[in-house]
Amino acid sequence: MNIDYKLLMDTAKEASKMSYSPFSRFAVGAGVLAASGKIYSGCNVENSSFGMTICAERCAICKAISEGEKEILAVAIYSPNADSCNPCGACRQVMYEFQGDNEIEIITEEMGNLEIKKMSEFLPFGFKI
């Protein structure tokens, strides 16, 4: 499938506006392309009990999976509060769970330019049962 990286990043940017991050004041948005071709958005959702916070990537992935998606092709991540925003370790593991035969592509914006990397660059030797 031809991946529209810019569209995915625009989705992440739009979603970051919905961020609920009163504690860290660090907004994050994510755009997830599923194997069906549909794009899902997500933002970070913090909680007064800090450890309950859900990252933007996991929010978007859960939306996709709960809508019946089985596989994820690409994930774009954006924060208006950083020059670039890489996925945390927990999100990398969750992405890896839904990787199909082709490696998930991870899109970030580094100083205004799109950076496209493979899942294995972020999580080599990932764990899967």
Binding site for ligand THU (CB under 6 A): 21, 24, 26, 28, 44, 46, 53, 55-57, 87-88, 91
The minimum distance between CB 28 and ligand THU, in angstroms, equals 3
* Choice among 57, 69, 105, 109 that is catalytic: 57
What is the 8-class DSSP label of residue 109?
A: E
Paired tokens of 110: 């580094």
Phi, psi of 23 (to 5 degrees): -90, -50
The minimum distance between CB 43 and ligand THU, in angstroms, equals 7
The minimum distance between CB 29 and ligand THU, in angstroms, equals 8
Cβ closest to ligand THU, residue 13 vs residue 36 = 13
Paired tokens of 107: 């899109």
Tell me which residue has tokens 């529209």. 4
Q: Which of 95, 98, 97 is nearest to 106 (CA)?
A: 95
Give me the active site residues, please. 57
